[in-house]
C-alpha cells in the first residue's frame, strides 16, 4: 500500500543481519489531529543507528527502519497543528512523542518524560501497538511538538545531523552554563563532538577539544576549538587541573579511559556530562575520586523543543555548518556507511541523500 497508509523504507530484520537492508513497505500510525507528515529528503546516520542494529538490538521490535536526523517537507498537517504549515522544510530528531502533560513535559524536560517516550524508531505507539519507524524511508509521521521548521540559511544536508547529534551536544552546554568566561571541554571528536566544539565556541566559551591523538587537531581548530588536548601525551591533564567548568564527554567508548585524570581537570563543582553511550561496562566511581574538587558527573538525553529551536537559530545566525559526507540512500551504500561508522571512518557525519531515486513513487 502506498502513502498515506504506509511508508517505504530500508529495514533491518535482526542484529545478525545488520548490514542487510531490505526495502519494504510498512504501516504508519493512524494520522491524528496534531500529526505532521514529512516527506523525507535527507537523513543523518547516527552512532545510535549503528548501535541499535548491531549492538543494543536484542530488545528491539524487529524489523526496523532506523534513522532519526531527518529533514524533509511537511506534506500534511493535522487540523490542530499550529507549529508547521504544509510545504515548509522541517526536521525531525530522535523522539516523536511524549505525554505532554507531566511535570517534566511542562518544564522543558520532555526528553525525560517518565510516562511515555516515543523514539523516532523502535517504540510502540500505545493505542495501536504500531512500531515507530525512522528516516531511512520515504515518510515519517510525528507529533508537531517534535517537528521543527528549518531556518532558510541552513542547508538540508548539513542541518540533518543537528537534529540528533547537534541537539545532544547543545542541550548539556546550555543547561550547564557554557558561555563567556567559562572553560569548556569536548571529549571525542566525532559526530556529536564536532557539534560540541562548534556550539561551545558559538556560545562564547573558551573551547577545548580533547582527543586521543592530534590527528584531528587541525579540524578541531577550524571548527572553533581554542585549544586541543591529546590524551596520548604524558601529563596531558596537569596544566588544566582545577580549570574546566564543564566537560561534555561525547566519546563512544570508555576503553582505557582513565576517568580520574579527566576529573582532575575540573574546577570545584565543575560538571562532567556524558552524552555518548558506550557499549562497554561502565566506570567504577568512588566518592574519593570526586571529593578533591566536588565535581558532578551526569548524563544528558537529547534536548527540549525550545533548545532545538535555539540551536537552529544559533547555527543560522552564526553560519555554522556541519561537516558531512553525503551518500545516496540504497542497500549497498547503507551497508558501506554502517561499516565505516563502526570504524569511526567518517569526518564527521554521513547524510543520506538521493531520496527521489530510492523512493520514486513517494
CA geometry: angle 311, 32, 75, nearest 5 deg: 60
How many residues lie near its own copies (CB under 8 A)?
38
The reply on whether position 14 binds its own copies by CB under 8 A is no
Dihedral angle sign, alpha carbons of residues 181, 273, 65, 76: negative
Write the burial class of residue 256 (CB in 10 Å: 0-12 exposed, 13-18 middle, 19+ buried): exposed
Site string for its own copies, 173-202 (x = CB under 8 A): --x---------------------------
Peptide bond preceding 232: is omega within 30 degrees of 0, i.e. cis?
no
From the list 37-45, 82-90, 280-288, 354-362, the region that binds its own copies by CB under 8 A is 280-288
Residues numbered 118-177 forming contacts with its own copies, rule: CB under 8 A: 175
- List, in order, residues 6 or more apart from 222 with CB less than 8 Å away: none
Please choose, out of 27-35, 104-112, 215-223, 326-334, the segment that lies near its own copies by the rule CB under 8 A: 104-112
For position 287 contacting its own copies by CB under 8 A, the verdict is: yes
Measured from the CB atom, the residue of 216 and 240 that comes closer to its own copies is 240
Q: What CA–CA distance (Å, rounded) separates 77 from 87?
A: 10
Q: Among residues 59 and 82, whose Cβ is nearest to its own copies?
A: 59
**Do the Cβ atoms of 299 and 273 come closer than 8 Å?**
yes
- Choose between 19 and 296: whose C-beta lies nearer to its own copies: 296
The CA–CA distances, whole Å, from 137 to 11, 20, 49, 166, 359 equal 9, 15, 14, 21, 8
Position 260 contacts its own copies (CB under 8 A): no
Return the number of the residue (99 or 316) whose C-beta is nearest its own copies.
99
Binding site for its own copies (CB under 8 A): 103-104, 107, 109, 112, 114, 175, 241-242, 268-269, 271, 274-278, 281-301
Amino acid at each position: 500500500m502506498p502513502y498515506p497508509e504506509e511508508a517505504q523504507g530500508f529495514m533491518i530484520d535482526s542484529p545478525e543481519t545488520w548490514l542487510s537492508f531490505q526495502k519494504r513497505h510498512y504501516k504508519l500510525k493512524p494520522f491524528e489531529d496534531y500529526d505532521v507528515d514529512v516527506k523525507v529528503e535527507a537523513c543523518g546516520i547516527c552512532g545510535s543507528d549503528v548501535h541499535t542494529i548491531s549492538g543494543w538490538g536484542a530488545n528491539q521490535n524487529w524489523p526496523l527502519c532506523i534513522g532519526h536526523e531527518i529533514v524533509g517537507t511537511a506534506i500534511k498537517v493535522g487540523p490542530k497543528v499550529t507549529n508547521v504549515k504544509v510545504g515548509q522544510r522541517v526536521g525531525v530528531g530522535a523522539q516523536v512523542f511524549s505525554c505532554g502533560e507531566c511535570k517534566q513535559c511542562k518544564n522543558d524536560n520532555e526528553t525525560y518524560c517518565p510516562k511515555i517516550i516515543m523514539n523516532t524508531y523502535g517504540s510502540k505507539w500505545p493505542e495501536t501497538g504500531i512500531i515507530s519507524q525512522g528516516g531511512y524511508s520515504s515518510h515519517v509521521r510525528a507529533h508537531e511538538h517534535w517537528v521543527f521548521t528549518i531556518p532558510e540559511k541552513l542547508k538540508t544536508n548539513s542541518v540533518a545531523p543537528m537534529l540528533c547529534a547537534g541537539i545532544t551536544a547543545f542541550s548539556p552546554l546550555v543547561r550547564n552554563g557554557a558561555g563567556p568566561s567559562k572553560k569548556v571541554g569536548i571529549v571525542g571528536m566525532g559526530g556529536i563532538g564536532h557539534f560540541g566544539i562548534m556550539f561551545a565556541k558559538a556560545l562564547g566559551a573558551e573551547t577545548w577539544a580533547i582527543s586521543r591523538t592530534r590527528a584531528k587537531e587541525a579540524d578541531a581548530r577550524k571548527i572553533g576549538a581554542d585549544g586541543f588536548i591529546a590524551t596520548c601525551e604524558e601529563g596531558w591533564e596537569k596544566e588544566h587541573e582545577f580549570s574546566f567548568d564543564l566537560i561534555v564527554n561525547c566519546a563512544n567508548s570508555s576503553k582505557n579511559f582513565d576517568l580520574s585524570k579527566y576529573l582532575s581537570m575540573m574546577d570545584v563543582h565543575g560538571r562532567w556530562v556524558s552524552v555518548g553511550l558506550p557499549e562497554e561496562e561502565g566506570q567504577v566511581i568512588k566518592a574519593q575520586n570526586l571529593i578533591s574538587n566536588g565535581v558532578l558527573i551526569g548524563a544528558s538525553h537529547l534536548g527540549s523543543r525550545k533548545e532545538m529551536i535555539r540551536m537552529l537559530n544559533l547555527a543560522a545566525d552564526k553560519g555554522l555548518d556541519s561537516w558531512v559526507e553525503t551518500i545516496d540512500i540504497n542497500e549497498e551504500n547503507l551497508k558501506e556507511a554502517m561499516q565505516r561508522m563502526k570504524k569511526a571512518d567518517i569526518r564527521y557525519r554521513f547524510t543520506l541523500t538521493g531520496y527521489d531515486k530510492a523512493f520514486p513513487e513517494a
